[in-house]
Amino acid sequence: MDVIYILWLRQLKRYLRSKSRIIGSLGQPVLFLFALGFGFGPIFQKAGQGNYIQFLTPGIIAMSILFTSIFSGIEIIWDRQFGFLKETLVAPVPRWQIMVGRTLGGATVATFQGLIVFVISLIAGFKPQNPAMLIFAFLIMILTAILFTALGTAIASILTDMQGFQLIMNFLIMPLFFLSGALFPLNGLPKILSILISLDPLSYGVDGLRGSLTGLSHYNLTVDFTVLIIISVILTGLGSYLFSKIQI
């Protein structure tokens, strides 16, 4: 298990050393939080839905975790192109341990990123309804981060270069975000849209964070935890299998 710890620590050190990466990855979440939060706030309030910053913040935290997690997984492509991955794969350890170590490292980075966005949201005026529920919000962040880091690793294990990266952005990441209920309430939606949202794993991350931080949950915290755990296990297993098939 030493290799898991070493790769986890390596991912964390790589992130902490790159101040530009930390700042750059905060740009989009902060823009969404302030531009949409204050821009649509009056409209949201007139519609009788309350404070939009309160509603929006869990979704923006989940968005930050989603992007950081996926990109952490896709770093495998860069490592493959520059030869770093080959050095790792020739080590006399099972490949699943390498995958788990990278996944835990990427998930830690993504969770840390989500915590930074949470702190910024407090500055923007967000107020958690029950501070005692923050621990549950933190657990939801971790599960969401593990899920999408494993997904990113599975995708990167199939791709051989960065040419397919734009396709991933357009046909996977953005739909996952916009169909998660991060920006709008899930009540009263058309049936087809409700089905698509229920199939989106990020929906349960957003709903879990919203339930933990604001007390407003569309599904149920138990359902959110259960779905996230099950999908995380499935994707980690799938990612481990695909990672073990990488040719060097």
Is the pLDDT score of 1 beyond 60?
no
Domain boundaries defined on the chain: 2-244
Per-residue confidence band for 21, with pLDDT thresholds at 50, 70 and 90? low
Vertex 27, ends 146 and 113: CA angle to 5°?
30
Is the pLDDT score of 231 beyond 90?
yes
Q: What percent of the chain has pLDDT over 70?
A: 80
Per-residue confidence band for 19, with pLDDT thresholds at 50, 70 and 90? low
Q: Which of the residue ranges 2-16, 92-106, 194-208 has the most confident prediction, judged by mean pLDDT?
A: 194-208
Name the residue with higher pLDDT: 38 or 196. Answer: 196
What is the structure's pLDDT at 210? 93
What is the structure's pLDDT at 68? 87
Name the residue with higher pLDDT: 8 or 198. Answer: 198
- For residue 195, the tally of other CB atoms under 10 A from its CB is 11
Give the mean model confidence (pLDDT) for residues 229-234. 94
Is the pLDDT score of 13 beyond 70?
no
- DSSP states of the chain: -HHHHHHHHHHHHHHHH-HHHHHHHHHHHHHIIIIIHHHSHHHHHHTT---HHHHHHHHHHHHHHHHHHHHHHHHHHHHHHHTHHHHHHTSSS-HHHHHHHHHHHHHHHHHHHHHHHHHHHHHHT---S-GGGHHHHHHHHHHHHHHHHHHHHHHHHH--SGGGHHHHIIIIIHHHHHTTTSSS--TT--HHHHHHHHH-HHHHHHHHHHHHHHS--SS-HHHHHHHHHHHHHHHHHHHHHHHHT---
Two tokens, residue 26: 């905060």
Question: 48: phi > 0 → left, psi -120 to 50 → alpha, else beta; which?
Answer: left
By C-alpha distance, which of 98, 33, 42 is closest to 62?
33
* pTM, 2 dp: 0.88
What is the structure's pLDDT at 201? 93
What is the structure's pLDDT at 34? 84
Q: Are 73 and 150 in contact (CB under 8 A)?
A: yes
**pLDDT tens digits along 66-114:** 988 888 777 777 777 666 666 666 666 677 777 888 888 888 888 989 9
What is the structure's pLDDT at 3? 60
How far apart CA 60 and CA 58 sit, in angstroms, is 6
What is the structure's pLDDT at 244? 78
Is the pLDDT score of 123 beyond 70?
yes
